[in-house]
Amino acid sequence: MDETKYGFWFPPDVSVHGRQIDSLINIVHWFMLLLFVGWGAFFVYCLIKYRARPGHTASYLPPKAQFTKVIEVGVIVIEVLLLFGFSTPVWFRYKNHPPTEKDALVVKLVAEQFAWNFQYAGKDGKFGKTAEANISADNPVGLDAEDPDGKDDIITVNQFHVPVNKPVIVQISSKDVIHSFNIPVLRVKQDAVPGARIPIWFQATQAGHFELGCAQLCGLGHYRMRADVLIDTPEDYAKWLAESAPPPAEQPTSAAPENPQSAPQK
């Protein structure tokens, strides 16, 4: 990982939709700064000009200040603009126009204390059935061994491989408590709510090695619930797929190089 990319402001943005979020955040901050500096200057002026001193008395009558109304109306206008000119359209475009599953890579994600389990459909493009009853240390998503669709599924733990420049849909769920799927460089965040399967999407613009973290307190190992996000070039991704495909007619096993299982909740 390239540590020099990270500093006191945004981490690099490697997503298609992230630019809009960043520019909204920047615009809001310029607006905040303008208001704060403007009011701050007036505030400091008042504190100095109207400090109590011999010979100075307060005036009983309120100042006729039309400019406060102008500022208040200005704030309303800018907020309406931020609301309906920026925030809602950005949210709408992102949330209501996901790529179709046909064009995208679909990955199922099951979060648990304190690991991320990814299920890829494999060569046949079909996900094997899963059930809670099948979950075990070797089978973190509970894949059904009888289901032919699941024979070629790839399961990884804390390793999230995606190809660059291709839409990715992640169907997020959790098997125990609420977690939150958070990849800062991709500007995505979505709670993993047990009992629900919530899709989100992104499209990466750069290959590289990044991080996924849990953003919702999920227990004593919350802080170390991280996964490597490996955005691969199409060639690297194909190579990884080929290497990770389970040998035919065998039980699917974890393809992750290491398998940090959840520590039991005390």
Name which of residues 148 to 187 contact another protein (CB under 8 A): 175-178, 180, 182, 184, 187
CA angle (200, 88, 74) in 5-degree steps: 150
- Site for another protein (CB under 8 A): which residue of 224, 238, 239, 251? 224
Binding part of the chain for another protein, among 117-125, 131-139, 146-154, 157-165 by CB under 8 A, reads 131-139
- Are 107 and 167 spatial neighbours (Cβ–Cβ below 8 Å)? no
Q: Which of 134, 244 has the CB closer to another protein?
A: 134
Output the smallest distance, CB 156 to another protein, in A: 18
Q: How far is the CB of 107 from another protein (least distance, A)?
A: 17
Residues from 45 through 104 that contact another protein (CB under 8 A): 46-47, 50-53, 56-60, 62-63, 65, 68, 71-72, 75-76, 79-80, 82-83, 86-88, 90-92, 94-96
CB of 57 to another protein, least distance (A): 6
Distance CA 241, CA 235 (A): 10
CA angle 150, 98, 89 (to 5 degrees): 160
CB pairs under 8 A, 24+ apart, for 24-33? 24/82, 24/86, 24/87, 24/90, 27/82, 27/86, 28/82, 31/78, 31/82
202 vs 169: CA distance, rounded Å: 7
Query: Whole-number minimum distance, CB 143 to another protein, in Å?
Result: 14
